[in-house]
Amino acid sequence: MYYVEKHIEISAAHRLDLPYESKCTRMHGHNWLITVYCKAEQLDENGMVTDFSLIKQVVQEKLDHQVLNDIIPGNPTAENIAFRICQNVPNCYKVSVQESEGNIAIYEV
């Protein structure tokens, strides 16, 4: 099995739709630390699991300096962001999204 791991930092804003009082229901931003994990039993025709530039394109170019409520369907929690990234990166089996120090959400297939 072959594995690749890509670390990306983005800046993006969001607000959460919550049924309780929280400062997170107001628009605010984070410097998100995202790690994308991909694996494959066979390398592609270029000798890769997944091209690092493709991972960067899916994550950084689509999410950096954006309002995540406009891009992520549903409530743009760290958990939902991890899920959506995993769905859109070929061979991805796990995504870690850190929205602030000590607050990390992980989605794994």
Hey, which residues does 36 pair with through a beta bridge?
6, 95
* Residue 62: predicted pLDDT: 95
Query: Into how many domains does the chain fold?
Result: 1
| Residue 37: domain span | 2-108
* Residue 82: predicted pLDDT: 98
In whole angstroms, give the CA distance from residue 61 to residue 2: 25
In whole angstroms, give the CA distance from residue 35 to residue 92: 11
CATH code, domain carrying 104: 3.30.479.10
* Residue 24: predicted pLDDT: 92
* Residue 41: predicted pLDDT: 98
Report, as an integer, the average pLDDT of 55-74.
96
Nearest alpha carbon to residue 67 among 6, 12, 7: 12
In whole angstroms, give the CA distance from residue 91 to residue 88: 9
Model pLDDT for residues 22-56, shown as the tens digit of each residue: 999 999 999 999 999 999 999 999 999 999 999 99
Report, as an integer, the average pLDDT of 88-106.
97
Mean pLDDT of the chain: 97
pTM of the complete model: 0.94
